Amino acid sequence: VSWPRVVPGGSGAVNADGLDFYDRLVDELCAHGITPAPTLYHWDTPLALEEAGGWLDRDTAYRFAEYAGIVAERLADRVPMWITVNEPAEVTMLGYALGEHAPGRTLLLDALPAAHHQLLAHGLAVRALRAAGADNIGVALSHAPVWTAGDTDEDRHGAELYDTLTNWLFADPVLTGRYPDENLAALMPGPVADDLKVISTPLDWYGVNYYNPTLVGAPGPEALDTLSGFTMPAELPFGIREIEGYEKTGFGWPVVPEGLTEIVTALHTRYGDRLPPLYITENGCALEEPHADDRRIAYLESHLRALRAAMDAGADVRGYFTWSLTDNVEWTEGASQR
């Protein structure tokens, strides 16, 4: 669901035509035996809110909760599954820290308030959804193993920091009500302790978006200057390395199905009974073949087998969404990646 389509100004007047569109869409999906599972935020912030600071502004979280309630009041009677926000780590890193996605800010660690406010928006939205009659609510967070590039203390420190920023900075507050690092928590704005009580509002399920592991070590000449077309600032306190020896997707991402087993098992081990049932909310690959899809079929089969291995090891996995059903328009690549 597009937030600016429903509430173009970010707050206040609702676009009736926008809500009517989703009303008809949900009816058509249900009529054809397709279960709707809407995501309420996939990176399209209303312009008025972005101009007021976007996710750097605490008020954006409250406006998001209002919007979530508006959508649920219209659709909750037919929608059996809800996703609050999708990949807030990518919004924070690519949109606010590195400037590769909208809104194009290059704040590095000063982007952390955007992370906190997205997490707060998630927690407030869970409560707003339930108040409007919605249930079966989850979140979609990106997760992948972080492999250490070397055996030096500097390599281990770089990998641990990257792991914290990409995996646990968002998962820990949602699932435990704490940030994984006191130093990072100290950089968050507002009444953090009270916010964490909202952020950790219990979920019905937890979504994992998985694509590939990342090889990380100390910063230095061996680190990649670019990653997936994104420029990596020299001042980063870690360095990302090339993973060699694996088939690559159209994005240049290594195809590592066992990484899915690894990260799902890691989540199960880290959180135990605090981890709700899992859904894989994104997994897939971009490939050049327009018709013969044998490589994509092999990709999906290998990752489903990897997921089965995690389930056999004790992970409670309830479903799998492939990304994506149709050719996708990517944020920086447009329609060049199929």
- Give per-residue pLDDT as tens, 180-226: 999 999 999 999 999 999 999 999 999 999 999 999 999 999 999 88
Strands 278-282 and 317-320: parallel
Is the backbone of residue 331 left (phi > 0), alpha (psi -120 to 50) or beta? Answer: alpha
pLDDT, position 324: 80
**What CA–CA distance (Å, rounded) separates 336 from 338?**
6
pLDDT of 329:
67
C-beta separation of 215 from 243 below 8 A: yes
| Higher local confidence (pLDDT), 122 or 252 | 122
Residue 225: Cβ within 10 Å count: 11
Q: In this structure, what are the phi and psi dihedrals at residue 196, rounded to the nearest 5 degrees?
A: -65, -30
Q: Which helix (H) or strand (E) holds 40?
A: strand 39-41
What is the C-alpha separation between 93 and 283, in angstroms, rounded? 20
- Percent above pLDDT 70 for the chain: 96
Give me the residue label for tokens 């100290």: 186
CATH of 3-320, one of 1.10.150.20, 3.30.70.920, 3.20.20.80, 3.40.50.300: 3.20.20.80
Q: In whole angstroms, give the CA distance from residue 202 to residue 333.
A: 36
**245/57 Cα distance (integer angstroms):** 43
Q: How confident is residue 178, by pLDDT bands cut at 50, 70 and 90?
A: very high
| Burial 305-328, CB ≥16 within 10 A → b, else e | ebbebbbeeebebeebbeeeeeee
Q: Is residue 231 very low, low, confident or very high in pLDDT (cuts 50, 70, 90)?
A: confident
Q: Is the pLDDT of residue 338 over 80?
A: no
Peptide bond into 277 cis (omega under 30): no
The whole-number average pLDDT for the span 30-39 is 98
Q: Which two tokens mark 273? A: 């009974």
State residue 224's pLDDT score.
92
Mean pLDDT lowest among 11-20, 90-99, 222-231, 292-301: 222-231
pLDDT of res. 251: 83
Task: Tell me the H-state helices in 32-168.
Answer: 47-51, 59-75, 88-90, 112-131, 153-163
Average pLDDT, rounded, for the chain = 95
Predicted confidence band at 242 (pLDDT cuts at 50, 70, 90)? very high
Catalytic residues: 87, 282
Give the tens place of pLDDT for each residue, 142-172: 999 999 999 999 999 999 999 999 999 999 9
Q: In the prediction, which pLDDT does 334 show?
A: 66
Q: At 325, is the pLDDT very low, low, confident or very high (cuts 50, 70, 90)?
A: confident
The pLDDT value recorded for residue 335 is 57
Q: How far is CA 170 from the centre of its chain?
A: 9
Tens-place pLDDT, residues 104-118 = 999 999 999 999 999
pLDDT computed for residue 337 by the predictor: 57
Rg, Å, the chain Cα set: 20
